[in-house]
Structure 1
Amino acid sequence: MNSSLLVLWGLWDDVYQRCTRLKYIEKGANIFRVVPLRYRGETLVTSDNQTIFNGDLIVKIHIHNYYFATLCKGVKDDLRVALLLRRQIMVSLPKLAAYLESMPERERIKGIVGTTMLHKGVQPLGFSISDVPMNWFFRYKRWYLRLLLRIVHPDGKKRVQTWNHEMPLKRVYMSKEALLKRYGTMHASTGEVD
């Protein structure tokens, strides 16, 4: 990625952060930013058979794209980018679980939910995947994420064209119970291995 473009993106990201309710899990060390809100959408059934209904309180997760772009600077290989993203998600999930455990409204939170084009390989991490309705909001979000992919990925223009049909926008989600069991303090203290 062009260094001057990355600097401009950093300035924009700072403005964006100040204008939204997104919170850092751990700035500069965690790929997620989050916001608690009411879920709006179709009923979701998680891999551990928990149900998230329209109106339930969730933690909306967002990949911190600018942070990830800084990590990818100079990386040219597709596989290395994918492995870097997976590693960042795996390192970030325990901190996300700890953050959720510390939230005052933790008892009412049903799970974590995000929307992404980069959903391949997330099911072994505990996430479930479903389609999103292609209304105006999700069409805009897909356009925005494709634009980011063009900027972040070392061969972004080609990848966007190649992934046009292979990388649809999807909803990824996990119940609070599954997140805490797999990545929370109980998991860490018992030394469980998945």
Structure 2
Amino acid sequence: MNASLLTLWRYWDWLYQHCTRLQYVEKGNNIFRIVLLRYRGETLVTTDQRTIQNGDLILKIHIHNYYFATLCKGITNELRIALLLRRHIMLSLPKLAAFLEKLENKEHIKGIVGTTMLYKAVEPIGFTVSDVPMNWFFRYKRWYLRLMLRIIHPDGKRKARSMDLEQPLKRVFMSKEALLERYGSKQYRPTGDGL
């Protein structure tokens, strides 16, 4: 990715963040940004058999694409990019758990929910995966995520085109209890070594 494109993206990312009310978990040191909101959609059942229902309070998680793009600068190997993303997710989840633990209304939060095309291999780290309805909002979001992939990925144009059939948009989610049990302050925190 060239420097001028990255600079333009930085300004777009600033605007996007302010329009969506996204908060940093830890600016410059966490792959996630979040927004606290009411969940809208069908009932979700997590792997630990807890439910997230329409109207429940959740942390909506977003991969910080611009931050990740800066980490990927100069990397052209697809496997290295995938491993880098996994490493940063594993390093970021304990910090996300710590962020949630400090919220005043944490007792009312039911879980974390995100939407992504990069959902493979997230179940072993605690997420549940489900389909999303392909309404206008999710069609737009899928277009946007494919654009981000095209920019970040070393062979982005081909990869984005091939994902039309291979990888639909999915919802990934985890209960608050599972997040805190796996990654909370009283648990072992992964270093990311070997990922």
Q: Does 1:55 align with 2:55?
A: yes
Q: Deviation of residue 3 (structure 1)? A: 1.2
Match of 1:36 in 2: 36
Aligned equivalents of 2:134 and 2:16: distance in 1? 24
- Structure 1 spans left out of the alignment, 5+ residues: 190-194
Match of 2:3 in 1: 3
Aligned equivalents of 1:79 and 1:126: distance in 2? 22
Match of 1:93 in 2: 93
Q: Does 1:73 align with 2:67?
A: no
* 3-state SS of 2:168 partner: coil
Match of 1:192 in 2: none
**TM value normalised by structure 2:** 0.95
- Structure 2 spans left out of the alignment, 5+ residues: 190-195
Aligned equivalents of 1:3 and 1:40: distance in 2? 38
CA RMSD of aligned residues (A): 1.0
Counterpart of 2:113 in structure 1: which amino acid? V
- List aligned pairs for 1:34-183, cutoff 5 A: 34-183=34-183
Q: Deviation of residue 114 (structure 1)? A: 0.2
Between the two proteins, the alignment pairs up a number of residues equal to 189
Aligned equivalents of 1:53 and 1:20: distance in 2? 22
Aligned equivalents of 2:30 and 2:81: distance in 1? 16
Q: Deviation of residue 27 (structure 1)? A: 0.5
Aligned equivalents of 1:12 and 1:41: distance in 2? 28
* 3-state SS of 1:104 partner: coil
Aligned equivalents of 2:94 and 2:7: distance in 1? 30
Per-residue CA distance 1:146-191 (angstroms, 9 max, x = gap): 01111111100010112211111000000000000000012139xx
* 3-state SS of 2:140 partner: helix
Match of 1:25 in 2: 25
Q: Deviation of residue 129 (structure 1)? A: 0.2
Aligned equivalents of 1:185 and 1:100: distance in 2? 11
* 3-state SS of 2:70 partner: helix
Counterpart of 1:144 in structure 2: which amino acid? Y
How many percent of aligned residue pairs carry the same amino acid?
71
Per-residue CA distance 1:61-114 (angstroms, 9 max, x = gap): 000000000000010001001000000100000000000000111000000000
Q: Deviation of residue 17 (structure 1)? A: 1.9
